[in-house]
Structure 1
């Protein structure tokens, strides 16, 4: 067996390197992994998806499946690292790790390490420029004629801050730590103050007025999904219409054409938190059975990853009066599959700041937190997370200073020596979710002679998984999954006397308990995880009949009976 490639998790791969690495994996484990491009990005790069399953036990489409993606936002590069890390764990663990072996023998995993290859390539450029997501010019394509464009102006591979003395400036140096900029107090005057702005170049600067230009690439691919899509005036970056962008359309098409996908995780950065639906409504408005399942599986995530799991609606709004929609709304609220967003990495927590709000901290926090972060930069990051201010002759502003936080390399992503540690948090939880998916199995087949050439055929199946075959009540409400579909395949010379050749049966419960054994009333449906189809056929003795049962999210099983 060829050796697996040895990836590095302390670096971020450019597109060509990522492509080569994935091709090496596929060549090393052809029976466990296949690689396909599901489409081209705006700039024409392949969007790669890995399909992982033991093909000797069945095709990926015949098995319940789990989807994982990352790097839909340009600078959130650790999301791609987390995908690659689990990919490596799965391929190296099959045959030696019992849980991984069980997973790939019975289920399929689809991994898209980089939904947005164009944006990632720009973030990894020698002179990066920050953009949110896609590189397509939107909503307008003209060059800026005034204002500040955020970019790396001195060619050091970082986009920092610029500061310049200004008696009207809102910032000042900390009294005991002059590297640290802190807000000017209400009513304060008589000191040395600064105006601070992002690193960048100015167009048509008049010596007085400065405004930061929006990115010419104003799209946010995570706002381009079909469910609850809203126009630009309501949701910035949403695009001209749902799935207008090729990256999103490729992902949507793939998932829609793979109804076996019952759960998904999307990796982002940063905040160090697991986010669960819903994004548009409170827990009080959520289907209770789904909320209970989410809380149960999210609690496993907290235990196995060390990240808290919270509601998007209640705990992760960018603004208390606004809601944002994205992948989670389409996959759960639209399709009824389970979905989580994982925001990897929390520099605050790394610095010993434990009591903070994931969103509001960025609007306002005590200066003691900044001092802790500066100490962390000095002691754990060789002083590189917060760059000491240094002089620079700006082409429009003259002498200024550059410095402050290196956000791409230390805030949006962990520093190199911590990237593998963060990625290693997730495989155990991802594996447990995937193993919880419904799994259709043949329970029994029966043939009974009713006459010399007349036979009753019974076909019984069961759900061997934890979750029900429909995954969620939301799926039933949205009518996105059918019950078990039984089919009798009739060869020439066989007549169907009774029953339908194709029968749509019930949804099947999983083995997740609905309540405890101390509940007031027992469950009434003891065998709701099973279903049976029955036919009467007319055929000669010794005839072979093929039988199939399919549940959209629980897989397909096939068997054969002999009329004897």
Structure 2
């Protein structure tokens, strides 16, 4: 009888679920959004590693013709480093199409990069499924490689342990940073066990701080000669090692964004560097993946915060690396990004921020010739959609729009060193991280910028094929290869160091006996390729530009021209 009741209850639940399920006829699609996605994801929250794994597996299962899921390696603690291949898998080999690589969460507290990366994958496949022709054409031509988190161990640490908005940045490899014999000792302690490391304050009639009379949550510095009511004791913590000091030993840490094999410097010069370039397993896995995918022409790494679209160089020593031709490409893309993302600024790392040696951004460009940005997600502009500098603004925003959910109210705590104190302050999920209602909005704008970047990877076409009979059974075949997009097949950095092989333009339909590149068609100036005339090696097809090639061919009357480019994909054309 009990089993029957259970079955009946399950049946009722299924009927109820079906009754309230969204049906296409009940939905009016909002412009620019998938109306009835196969995979439903709430984009107003954050997901730990298990949550990310669940989402990417569901995307791959629901969209087998658009999504391939694989692990590109293991984290230090053995977690799979998931990477999604997003493309129309029915239309060409995804690894032969011009590609965009996206990752997030290289720093463990910069977590929204993972949601932004996953949103990009989700949006593309669900809009494709909804019949959006722009996305369908995009995925027919392009491939996206999307790695939601490349620091999953430390991500879970940030989620499930007490942390501030600023800690930790590192991965989870044990390090004795201060050489006291303890590995990765926690400098902070979550005194009240709420998962957030907030601020400690103690009453003091001669303190330098007082409670803001307009907002009791906020502490303000008193004026000259004025006595305060409190002293601030720093962030939550105790004397872990019995030396009489609290929080003086921060968690031993390295910085995963100082580990890349371009202009790498040791820890004595670049704080946070580990043993040697690519000594961190997660970074090594990313580098191996990129090396195996020479079709990657564009890159995006999501960080936080400050509302910035960053390009290299990371240090002044690399100013000459970023030459004028490539900077023009960066400028065209970056300035468009400023239009698409209100409050975001397109800037140069070393000039507008600080020096970074061994950064991912510079390795992608300097080492692989890939046009790469690093978007610093979240900007104060998003508080009230205007530029703000007032220190009260975060408190006002929390009160006005978040119903004071971002602040842990002050409470009394008996500290083993300081006696009776109070602890309180903003949660770790505020200031650097998007509130829920802004998460999807900013994810969409950043996604759109990455799609714009990917759209402008090379798109080649062959036309203007001219066939001229020159006598003696010979034909002169001339063809023009166009690149319709901003990004060339080879960046100047690529050409400087011969990073990638040249483009190959080949002919079939006859026997080529001579081949040349036409440098001036009007004046009939050419440069002959004296070997292998069937396959002309073209070093570069510029953005929004073209290259003209010519053969002298014996036999045949109809000729097919094929182009193969590692970063530009393939194209073909046939003479009339």
* Normalised-by-shorter TM-score class: 0.7 to 0.9
The equivalent residue for 1:379 is 400
Q: Distance in 1 between matches of 2:51 and 2:436?
A: 18
Aligned positions of 1:83-122 closer than 5 A? 83-94=117-128, 96-122=131-157
3-state SS of 1:82 partner: helix
Q: Is the 8 A contact 2:456 2:486 kept in 1?
A: yes
The equivalent residue for 1:365 is none
- Give the superposition deviation at 1:438: 0.8
The equivalent residue for 1:430 is 450
The equivalent residue for 2:69 is 35
The equivalent residue for 2:492 is 473
Q: Distance in 2 between matches of 1:148 and 1:83?
A: 30
3-state SS of 2:412 partner: strand
The equivalent residue for 2:368 is 335
The correspondence for 1:20, drawn from 54, 59, 65, is 54
Q: Distance in 2 between matches of 1:158 and 1:239?
A: 28
- Give the superposition deviation at 1:82: 0.8
Task: Please give the per-residue CA displacement for 1:353-405, whole angstroms capped at 9, x wherever unaligned.
Answer: 7155xxxxxxxxxxxx2222212112222213233211122344432211112
Aligned positions of 1:395-544 closer than 5 A? 395-406=416-427, 408-443=428-463, 460=479, 462-486=481-505, 500=532, 501-511=534-544, 529-532=546-549, 534=551, 536=553
Q: 1:495 to 1:101 in 2, by over 3 A?
A: closer
Q: Distance in 2 between matches of 1:460 and 1:234?
A: 53
Matching of residue 183 in structure 1 with residue 221 in structure 2:
yes
Q: Distance in 1 between matches of 2:500 and 2:574?
A: 26
Q: Is the 8 A contact 2:102 2:145 kept in 1?
A: yes
Q: Distance in 1 between matches of 2:508 and 2:173?
A: 50
Q: Is the 8 A contact 1:508 1:531 kept in 2?
A: no
Q: Is the 8 A contact 2:505 2:538 kept in 1?
A: yes
Q: Is the 8 A contact 1:283 1:291 kept in 2?
A: no
Q: Distance in 2 between matches of 1:548 and 1:153?
A: 67
Q: Distance in 2 between matches of 1:148 and 1:382?
A: 32
3-state SS of 1:262 partner: strand
Matching of residue 281 in structure 1 with residue 298 in structure 2:
no
- Give the superposition deviation at 1:283: 11
Task: Please give the per-residue CA displacement for 1:413-432, whole angstroms capped at 9, x wherever unaligned.
Answer: 11223211221222322222
The equivalent residue for 1:516 is none
Aligned positions of 1:52-201 closer than 5 A? 52-94=86-128, 96-125=131-160, 127=162, 130-140=167-177, 144=182, 149-166=187-204, 171-185=209-223, 188=225, 190-201=227-238
Q: 1:410 to 1:178 in 2, by over 3 A?
A: same
Of 173-182 and 372-381, deviating more is 173-182
Q: Is the 8 A contact 1:463 1:469 kept in 2?
A: no
Matching of residue 303 in structure 1 with residue 339 in structure 2:
yes
Q: Distance in 1 between matches of 2:184 and 2:160?
A: 25
3-state SS of 1:27 partner: helix
Q: Distance in 1 between matches of 2:181 and 2:210?
A: 34
Of 118-127 and 283-292, deviating more is 283-292
The equivalent residue for 1:345 is 378
Task: Please give the per-residue CA displacement for 1:244-290, whole angstroms capped at 9, x wherever unaligned.
Answer: 11111111111122121111111111212222233223998552232
Task: Please give the per-residue CA displacement for 1:310-359, whole angstroms capped at 9, x wherever unaligned.
Answer: 323366425xxx44551211122333321111111124651577155xxx
Q: Is the 8 A contact 1:84 1:113 kept in 2?
A: yes
The equivalent residue for 1:360 is none
Task: Please give the per-residue CA displacement for 1:43-100, whole angstroms capped at 9, x wherever unaligned.
Answer: 0001111111112221112111111111111121111111111111100112622321
Q: 1:545 to 1:16 in 2, by over 3 A?
A: farther
How well do the aligned residues superpose, as a CA RMSD in angstroms? 3.5
Q: Is the 8 A contact 1:94 1:100 kept in 2?
A: yes
Q: 1:289 to 1:299 in 2, by over 3 A?
A: same
Q: Distance in 2 between matches of 1:436 and 1:148?
A: 45
3-state SS of 1:410 partner: coil
Q: 5+ unaligned residues in a row in structure 1: which ranges?
A: 357-368, 512-527
Matching of residue 390 in structure 1 with residue 411 in structure 2:
yes
Q: Distance in 2 between matches of 1:93 and 1:349?
A: 26
Q: Is the 8 A contact 1:348 1:373 kept in 2?
A: no
Please report the TM-score for the alignment, with normalisation by the length of structure 2: 0.80
Of 471-480 and 25-34, deviating more is 471-480
The correspondence for 1:293, drawn from 317, 329, 332, is 329
Of 145-154 and 471-480, deviating more is 145-154
Q: 5+ unaligned residues in a row in structure 2: which ranges?
A: 1-35, 515-530
The equivalent residue for 2:240 is 203
3-state SS of 1:475 partner: helix
3-state SS of 1:243 partner: coil
Please report the TM-score for the alignment, with normalisation by the length of structure 1: 0.82
Q: Distance in 1 between matches of 2:402 and 2:351?
A: 30
Q: Is the 8 A contact 2:315 2:350 kept in 1?
A: no
Aligned length: 519
Q: Is the 8 A contact 1:147 1:212 kept in 2?
A: no
Q: Distance in 2 between matches of 1:44 and 1:65?
A: 28
Q: Distance in 2 between matches of 1:435 and 1:63?
A: 12
Q: Distance in 2 between matches of 1:284 and 1:3?
A: 45
The equivalent residue for 2:279 is 244
Q: Is the 8 A contact 1:62 1:555 kept in 2?
A: yes
The equivalent residue for 2:564 is 550
- Give the superposition deviation at 1:224: 0.8
